[in-house]
């Protein structure tokens, strides 16, 4: 493993910092009339969700302006040198090959596979994960469309009007962020999505005040289905639901699970066909691209969710192929050093 403090570029950056700490942005622009052109990048991305109902490609023009950061050309070159000395390109390539670069858990880091919408293979420990990823996506599509169309009925025959996602950490933060950012594409008059993460019962209680058991669907997001905070809220939601529904058999129509523990899920009362799988090579901070994103898909529609995946896949391709000095994710990372 590389020791950062021993690298020549790091030592040079530490020395350079004594000069850079005196930088004034107005002076940097005054000294360099081409600063904006030097420290900005334009990128055109074409992307299409090939597995979706809409075959028309999308395109977007992106501008990354990092000229307003306190750097000069020397800073920039030293940061690029640091990326090279730390082996960023090699580690990136190892990630896309599915090698276990998560060295603490000895696992692959393959969130890129979750938005890999074509059929070319990606491997984790020698297994092509793409077919299984696409199978889960198809399961998500069918469920999403059934809920949004009203085909999915509650135990009284009513359509679902409220979806409550129960999870913590990456099973909550990503979906919350995306549903807020893409709320323009939702129709909250027909279908609302709520998120419960706090183990304090007040959070769940206040959320459920706006819901009716007959038309509420709960998403329980826990890989092992043993996460204490999530399961505490899940059992409280189950009790709230049964207080109205009475019959535990009705749970199957009002609870789904994002998990890999079939035994615990079915013991809770959730039908196995309503369990959505994800994998140990998905880090929590990236899990919104997996089945954890079911609440997003339900809220904005699966085609929009798939377009989100396609856009991320287009950026993955850029990250995998662009040189460091023009690589947007790399540049954003470096200016944060």
Phi first, then psi: give them for residue 102, nearest 5 degrees: -80, 85
Computed over every residue of the chain, the mean pLDDT equals 94
C-alpha dist (Å) from residue 267 to 252, 256, 261, 264 = 11, 13, 10, 5
Q: Cα separation of 26 and 143, whole Å?
A: 54
Place of tokens 């990456």: 170
pLDDT digits 0-9 by tens, 8-25 = 999 999 999 999 999 999
- Please state whether beta strands 192-196 and 216-221 pair in parallel, antiparallel, or not at all (unpaired): unpaired
pLDDT of 51 = 56
Q: Are 214 and 155 in contact (CB under 8 A)?
A: yes
Q: Provide the CA 109 distance to its chain's centre, in angstroms.
A: 13
Query: What strands lie across the sheet with 162-166, from one edge to the other?
Result: 192-196, 162-166, 216-221, 255-258, 275-276
- Please state whether beta strands 123-124 and 58-65 pair in parallel, antiparallel, or not at all (unpaired): unpaired
pLDDT of 27 = 97
Residue 312 pLDDT > 80, yes or no?
A: yes
**Confidence band for 53, pLDDT divided at 50, 70 and 90:** low
- Please state whether beta strands 40-47 and 162-166 pair in parallel, antiparallel, or not at all (unpaired): unpaired
């Amino acid at each position: 493993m590389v020791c950062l403090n021993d690298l020549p570029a790091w030592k040079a950056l530490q020395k350079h910092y004594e000069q850079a700490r005196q930088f004034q942005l107005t002076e940097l622009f005054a000294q360099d009339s081409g600063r904006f052109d030097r420290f900005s990048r334009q990128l055109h991305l074409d992307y299409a969700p090939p597995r979706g109902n809409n075959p028309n490609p999308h395109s977007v023009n992106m501008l990354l302006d990092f000229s307003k950061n306190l750097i000069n050309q020397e800073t920039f070159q030293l940061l690029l040198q640091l990326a090279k000395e730390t082996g960023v390109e090699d580690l990136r390539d190892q990630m896309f090959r599915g090698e276990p670069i998560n060295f603490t858990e000895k696992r692959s880091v393959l969130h890129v596979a979750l938005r890999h919408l074509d059929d070319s293979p990606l491997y984790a420990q020698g297994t092509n994960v793409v077919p299984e990823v696409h199978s889960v996506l198809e399961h998500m599509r069918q469920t999403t469309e059934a809920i949004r169309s009203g085909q999915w009925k509650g135990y009284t025959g009513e359509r679902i009007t409220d979806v409550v996602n129960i999870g913590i950490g990456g099973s909550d933060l990503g979906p919350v962020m995306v549903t807020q950012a893409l709320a323009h594409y939702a129709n909250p008059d027909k279908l609302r999505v709520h998120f419960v993460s706090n183990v304090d019962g007040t959070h769940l209680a206040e959320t459920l005040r706006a819901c009716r058991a007959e038309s509420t669907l709960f998403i329980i997001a826990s890989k092992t289905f043993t996460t204490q905070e999530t399961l505490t809220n899940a059992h409280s939601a189950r009790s709230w639901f049964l207080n109205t529904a009475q019959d535990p058999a009705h749970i199957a129509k009002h609870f789904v699970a994002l998990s890999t523990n079939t035994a615990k899920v079915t013991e809770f009362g959730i039908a196995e066909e309503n369990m959505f799988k994800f994998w140990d090579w998905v880090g929590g901070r990236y899990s919104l691209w997996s089945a954890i994103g079911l609440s997003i898909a339900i809220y904005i529609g699966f085609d929009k969710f798939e377009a989100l995946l396609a856009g991320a896949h287009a950026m993955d391709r850029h990250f995998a192929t662009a040189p460091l000095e023009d690589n947007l994710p790399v540049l954003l990372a470096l200016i944060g050093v």
